[in-house]
């Protein structure tokens, strides 16, 4: 963990702070103005990963997040956690992802911005990379040092946005929330999934094949609240690597959009 003195020195030498892990580099400015979005950029050095991977960061209560560049990952902002999930890791040597984070105007002080990359090797061996957290100070006098117009252009790239004319007729389709409990490289039964996660599932499992990987999703809920209750129930039983996904008909959509369409 860096000392406060080190953080101050870095702030004098550069407009951004970054993690020092060889595999993960998180870049953001050391002071954030509450009430304003601040860019957070992550660089992941890919040393031969080509299976499932998940990068996530926890933020304190009172933060809002907007998606930036996901590099082909499914992006989730749930329960104050930023998630980028790849069924199959991109082959780029350096994978760049980003998002915007904003602290509520009432927040003060500082917080630690950590992060972790979970990944699978050859469809079976699971490993993790974690870096020492950055110390971010909330300062009402701070200025966002990056041009947000350029960031928003990146965020609203055609690969990241759903056009309005596709949303309106799709509202008629059924919206469904599920809890994703596993991603594997092979097709297995529900009993085998329960054995792997060491937990009996209350609801049936939907299996979706994406490329050479299989997604295992439990439950089919009409509301986000029902799915969230089930998620917390599973976490209470020790199943931690689970998250909520949403579908409109057969199309997977962002959870935030599904929540809007079901309100």
Nearest CA to 206 out of 196, 197, 216 is that of 216
Question: Rounded distance, CA 56 to CA 115, Å?
Answer: 6
| Domains: count for the chain | 2
CA dist 71 and 49 (Å) reads 14
The CATH number given to whatever domain includes residue 23 is 2.60.40.740
> Of 155, 177, 206, which one is at a domain's C-terminal end?
155
Residues 6 or more apart in contact with residue 200 via CB below 8 angstroms: 194
Q: Is 135 found in the same domain as 41?
A: yes
Condensed to tens digits (0 to 9), the pLDDT of residues 3-37 reads 333 333 333 333 455 544 457 888 899 999 999 99
Tell whether 129 and 148 lie within a shared domain: yes
Say if residue 37 is in the same domain as residue 118: yes
Q: Are residues 150 and 176 in the same domain?
A: no
- Residues 177, 144 share a domain: no
Q: What is the pLDDT of residues 61-117, one digit of tens each?
A: 899 898 888 888 888 888 889 999 888 888 888 888 999 999 998 899 999 998 899
Q: How far apart are CA 113 and CA 147, in angstroms?
A: 22
Of residues 88 and 163, the one with the higher pLDDT is 88
pTM above 0.75, yes or no: no
Domain edge (last residue) among 137, 155, 173: 155
CATH number at residue 197: 3.30.70.1070
* Domain, as residue range, for 9: 4-155
Domain match, 141 and 197 both = no
Q: Are both 78 and 202 inside the same structural domain?
A: no
Tokens at 161, concatenated? 């946005």
């Amino acid at each position: 963990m860096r000392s406060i003195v080190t953080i101050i020195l870095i702030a004098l030498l550069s407009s951004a702070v970054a993690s020092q892990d060889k595999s993960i580099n998180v870049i953001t400015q050391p002071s954030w103005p509450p009430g304003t979005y601040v860019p957070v950029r992550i660089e992941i050095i890919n040393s031969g990963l080509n299976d499932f991977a998940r990068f996530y960061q926890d933020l304190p209560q009172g933060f809002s997040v907007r998606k930036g560049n996901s590099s082909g990952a499914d992006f989730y902002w749930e329960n104050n956690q930023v998630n980028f999930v790849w069924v199959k890791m991109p082959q780029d040597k350096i994978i760049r992802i980003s998002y915007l984070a904003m602290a509520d105007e009432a927040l003060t002080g500082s917080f630690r911005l950590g992060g972790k990359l979970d990944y699978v090797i050859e469809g079976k061996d699971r490993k993790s990379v974690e870096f020492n957290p950055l110390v971010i100070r909330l300062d009402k006098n701070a200025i966002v040092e990056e041009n947000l117009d350029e960031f928003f252009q990146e965020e609203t790239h055609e690969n990241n946005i759903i056009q309005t004319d596709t949303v309106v007729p799709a509202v008629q389709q059924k919206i469904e929330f599920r809890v994703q409990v596993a991603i594997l490289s092979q097709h297995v039964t529900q009993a085998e999934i329960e054995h792997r996660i060491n937990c009996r599932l209350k609801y049936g499992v939907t299996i979706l094949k994406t490329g050479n990987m299989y997604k295992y999703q439990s439950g089919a809920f009409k509301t986000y609240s029902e799915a969230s209750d089930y998620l917390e129930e599973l976490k209470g039983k020790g199943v931690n690597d689970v998250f909520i996904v949403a579908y409109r008909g057969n199309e997977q959509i962002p959870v935030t959009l599904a929540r809007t369409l079901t309100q």
